[in-house]
A and B are shown apart, each in its own frame.
Chain A
Amino acid sequence: MSEELLNLKDVKKYFGLRGAPWRKAQAVRAVDGVNLVVRKGETVGLVGESGSGKSTLARVATRLLDPTQGRVEIGGTDVTKVRGRRLRPIRRRIQMVFQDPQASLNPRQSVGTILSTPYRAQGIRPTRAQLVELLEQVGLAEQYLERYPHEFSGGQRQRIGIARALSVKPDLLVCDEPVSALDVSVQAQVLNLLADLRDELGLSYVLVAHDLAVVRQVADRIAVMYLGTIVEEGPAAEVYEAPAHPYTKALLSAVPVPEPGVERDRIVLTGDVPTPIDPPSGCPFRTRCYKAQDVCATQRPVLEPVAGNTEHRAACYFPEPPPPERT
């Protein structure tokens, strides 16, 4: 099995809510006990609805946020307690691409300055040739080096964000909703670019997205989050073809398909995602689940192999049966 680039062990991230002094302090359990391994060369899709904790998990993995509990291992070393300057060599291995390229690029810096910042953080002075090569890698021409972010379209800005992340030659890119702010035609360009870079540079990705079709296009493996926990994890093809967790099944069935007349067996969930301040007892999904029984309220189900397949796991007492063998 190939090298582990990222290993999250029972990671929890709680945010304190400071209310009025006479009220009990509350915590938002954004990430509530997640285990996740990313190996060299693979693309892991992290999907879930808003408030599921997927972005927080991405930020903990890149050490932009400190976990409340648990371990973050990058390239086999425990980096949970590493802080400040000593994080820099670690950041060379793992970089992040953000959702909003408008907000994540400094409007007062030229593209050249933006791209050379990660080098300088590593104590390197990049040559112009290096910066041009970066631009070319993401499909932009040399002349853009002197321009400023406002002169670019959204798709081009996202390319600059990707080039900046690539500058220190990381092994793993964590992309938080990299295409959700882009138009459909431009989104496809960026998705193809990510795939090309993976093939050329042997990159691995963690792709955080709410758009399940986007994730299916690029991910090898997929982890579905709900209310701070992973409820199902497995090879993308299997999870999409035969989801085991009722939530995954409902989520996939809700995505409209761009083909008129295709009838989907839609499971319309009632209600909204409960608040992560006071999640339901037992299974976090039981309040909206169409299969919930008394046992679901007692103890939180753990990820268990689906039909004996250790690669595909779901946290449910009543997982969907696997599809009959195709003959």
Chain B
Amino acid sequence: MAEPVLEVHDLHVTFTTEGGLVPAVDGIDFAVAPGETLAIVGESGSGKSVSSAAVMGLLPSNAEVTGEVLLDGRELIGLPGDELRKIRGNDIAMVFQDALSALNPYYSVGWQVAEAYRLHHDVSKKKAHQRAIEMLDKVGIPDAVRRADSYPHEFSGGMRQRVVIAMALVNDPRVLIADEPTTALDVTVQAQIMRLLDDVQAEFGTALVLISHDLGVVAEVADDVLVMYAGRAAERGTVRDIFFRAAHPYALGLLGAMPRVDVPPKPRLTTIPGTPPTPGSITTGCPFQPRCAYTHLVGERCITERPELTPRPGEGDHEAACHLGRRPEVLL
């Protein structure tokens, strides 16, 4: 793998709430290189969105962030606000799930894309507007010159997401974090947006961190995958490591629970019993243990001792955090 542009080491995020301390992210590591795509996969409450917000420095004041977030070797955690603002939107940009709330209804889309450019470049309004039109055209807005004067409500969901992507890419960021960018979209539009992100990466060499719960999308675009569960890394590896050699019972369970459109249905989907734990509710042992079908093969260790990521057979840095230590057989 090429030199990573973004590296995250031992990231912890703890929220102080009325109910006490909530550890939303409990020590994760990841890295992504230019032109590569890292997918962070997990269910609600797994900490995948909080991790990306922490990287961007977008968490509220009751969140305590520790660890390292290195952009080209430069530490971002603890940077003062004005320094961070120079980086955010310029070197690292973000695309959110809900494009409608990411856009200001009061301004034309052209103005909003131009503003994002002017924040980081000392240029005339006219020049910024030209740049905005160029970007809108690049993300596939038809008739961009005219549509730049339209307002967000005049666009469809897919077109709005294109505008948000144009806004994120206007400063040629090195890293793009996309948090469920296609979840709110129909599949035909999702296919358009995923192709767009792919083209953008090929053209600009952007490193992409894709946060998603859709394993189909992940299988298609990711190079590396990090599977999160209850704020921790359950497993990580290349996309083929995860899909063909999953070593963590949770990753295996997720794969079995996905219905597929391209093959005749199985008589029954494999399921994971129970529901994901609330953050902080499991303090000892493996957070997945209460839902795990393999505990009996290991015994008490699952309840008393926290599994750490250990190497597994695979293409590269395939690791899983499970005491079982070998690939679990599929139970039905």
A interface residues with partner B (beta carbon < 8 Å): 49-50, 153-156, 183-189, 191-192, 195, 210-214, 216-218, 237, 240, 250-252, 254-262, 264, 266, 268-270, 272-273
**A261 in contact with B240 (CB, 8 Å):** yes
Contacting A at CB under 8 A, from B227-270, are 239-240, 243-244, 253-262, 264-266, 268-270
Q: Which of A185, A211, A255, A272 contacts B158 (CB 8 A)?
A: A272
**B243 in contact with A260 (CB, 8 Å):** yes
Seed contacts A184-B213, A256-B191; 18 additional CB < 8 Å A-B pairs: A50-B157, A183-B43, A183-B276, A184-B43, A184-B215, A185-B43, A188-B257, A188-B270, A192-B268, A192-B271, A210-B187, A213-B216, A237-B264, A251-B188, A252-B261, A257-B260, A258-B215, A260-B239
Q: Does B219 contact A (CB under 8 A)?
A: yes
Q: Give Cα A192 to B268, complex, Å.
A: 6
Q: Which of A186, A213, A259 contacts B219 (CB 8 A)?
A: A259
**A251 in contact with B275 (CB, 8 Å):** no
Contacts of A256 in B (CB 8 A): 190-191, 194, 214, 216-217, 219-220
Contacts of A240 in B (CB 8 A): 261
Q: Which of B43, B156, B244, B265 contacts A272 (CB 8 A)?
A: B156
Q: A237-B264, A258-B216, A268-B195 are in contact. Are A185 and B253 (CB under 8 A)?
A: yes
Q: Which of A184, A195, A269 contacts B188 (CB 8 A)?
A: A269
Q: A257-B216, A260-B243, A272-B156 are in contact. Are A187 and B257 (CB under 8 A)?
A: yes
**A217 in contact with B262 (CB, 8 Å):** no
Q: B19 to chain A: closest CB distance in Å? A: 15
- Nearest B residue to A50 by beta-carbon distance? B186
Q: Give Cα A188 to B276, complex, Å.
A: 14
Q: B10 to chain A: closest CB distance in Å? A: 27
Contacting A at CB under 8 A, from B203-228, are 213-220, 222
Q: Give Cα A178 to B266, complex, Å.
A: 20
Q: Does B53 contact A (CB under 8 A)?
A: no
Q: Does B310 contact A (CB under 8 A)?
A: no
Contacts of A273 in B (CB 8 A): 156, 186
**B213 in contact with A254 (CB, 8 Å):** no
Q: Give Cα A212 to B265, complex, Å.
A: 12
Q: Does B16 contact A (CB under 8 A)?
A: no
Q: Give Cα A191 to B214, complex, Å.
A: 17
Q: Does B189 contact A (CB under 8 A)?
A: yes
Q: Does B197 contact A (CB under 8 A)?
A: no
Q: Does B65 contact A (CB under 8 A)?
A: no
B interface residues with partner A (beta carbon < 8 Å): 43-44, 156-159, 186-192, 194-195, 213-220, 222, 239-240, 243-244, 253-262, 264-266, 268-273, 275-276
Quick one: which of B158, B186, B190 has the most chain A CB within 10 A?
B186
Q: A184-B258, A210-B187 are in contact. Are A217 and B269 (CB under 8 A)?
A: yes
**A184 in contact with B240 (CB, 8 Å):** no
**A212 in contact with B187 (CB, 8 Å):** yes
Contacts of B244 in A (CB 8 A): 260
Contacts of A266 in B (CB 8 A): 191
Contacts of A252 in B (CB 8 A): 261
Q: Give Cα A269 to B219, complex, Å.
A: 21
Quick one: which of A183, A186, A212, A266 has the most chain B CB within 10 A?
A183
Contacts of A187 in B (CB 8 A): 257
Contacts of B195 in A (CB 8 A): 268
Q: Give Cα A195 to B189, complex, Å.
A: 30
Q: B245 to chain A: closest CB distance in Å? A: 11
Quick one: which of A154, A191, A210, A256 has the most chain B CB within 10 A?
A256
Q: B59 to chain A: closest CB distance in Å? A: 23
Q: A189-B271, A254-B187, A272-B159 are in contact. Are A184 and B254 (CB under 8 A)?
A: yes
Contacts of A255 in B (CB 8 A): 187, 216, 261-262
Q: Which of A183, A210, A258, A260 contacts B260 (CB 8 A)?
A: A258
- Nearest A residue to B43 by beta-carbon distance? A183
**A185 in contact with B272 (CB, 8 Å):** yes
**B275 in contact with A186 (CB, 8 Å):** yes
Q: Which of B186, B219, B276 contacts A260 (CB 8 A)?
A: B219
**A262 in contact with B262 (CB, 8 Å):** yes
**A183 in contact with B213 (CB, 8 Å):** yes
Q: A315 to chain B: closest CB distance in Å? A: 18
- Nearest B residue to A264 by beta-carbon distance? B262
Q: B162 to chain A: closest CB distance in Å? A: 11
Contacts of B219 in A (CB 8 A): 256-260, 262
**B259 in contact with A217 (CB, 8 Å):** yes
**B187 in contact with A185 (CB, 8 Å):** no
Contacts of B191 in A (CB 8 A): 254, 256, 266, 268-269
Q: A184-B43, A258-B243, A272-B156 are in contact. Are A195 and B216 (CB under 8 A)?
A: no
Contacts of B192 in A (CB 8 A): 268-270
Q: Give Cα A256 to B279, complex, Å.
A: 30
Q: Give Cα A186 to B156, complex, Å.
A: 30
**A213 in contact with B258 (CB, 8 Å):** yes
**A260 in contact with B258 (CB, 8 Å):** no
> Can you list 9 contacts pairing A with B, beta carbon distance less than 8 Å?
A154-B275, A183-B213, A192-B268, A213-B258, A250-B188, A254-B190, A256-B220, A258-B216, A268-B192
Contacts of A211 in B (CB 8 A): 259
**A153 in contact with B275 (CB, 8 Å):** yes
**A192 in contact with B187 (CB, 8 Å):** no
**A216 in contact with B259 (CB, 8 Å):** yes
Q: A230 to chain B: closest CB distance in Å? A: 18
Contacts of A189 in B (CB 8 A): 271-273
- Nearest B residue to A266 by beta-carbon distance? B191
